[in-house]
Amino acid sequence: MEYRDRVLKCVECGSEFVFTAGEQLFFADKGFKNEPKRCKNCKSKRSQSGSGPGYPRAETTTKCSQCGKETTVPFKPTQGRPVYCRECFQQRRSASPTPV
C-alpha cells in the first residue's frame, strides 16, 4: 500500500498538522488502528503534564495485606485482592521464581 502525507486537525488546539507517509507506515507496522488526534506540540504538553486533563492520578490510602502498615497505592484496590506496601511488594517480587 502506498502512503501519502495527510493533513489532520488537532482535537486540542484545532491547528492542522501533517501525518506523514512514514508515520502512517509506522502505525500500520505496529498495528495501530487509530490515527493521531493531537499535533506534536499538544502531544508533548500532554505527556509532560502526566495523564492529561480530566484524568487525575488515583491515589488511595490503604493497609498492607501482609504487614498491616498504612500505605498509599496509585490505584483503587479491588475488594478481595491483596494490596502490599512497597517493602512487602519488593519482598514478594524477589521471593517469586523468575519465569523461563
Contact 24, 9 (CB under 8 A): no
pLDDT at position 49 is: 62
**Other residues' Cβ atoms within 10 Å of the Cβ of residue 38:** 19
Q: Answer yes or no: is pLDDT of 84 > 90.
A: yes
pTM of the model: 0.47
pLDDT at position 6 is: 95
C-alpha atoms less than 13 angstroms from C-alpha of 82 in its C-beta half-sphere: 11
CA distances from 9 to 6, 15, 42, 55, 69 (A): 10, 6, 12, 23, 50
pLDDT > 70: percent of the chain: 87
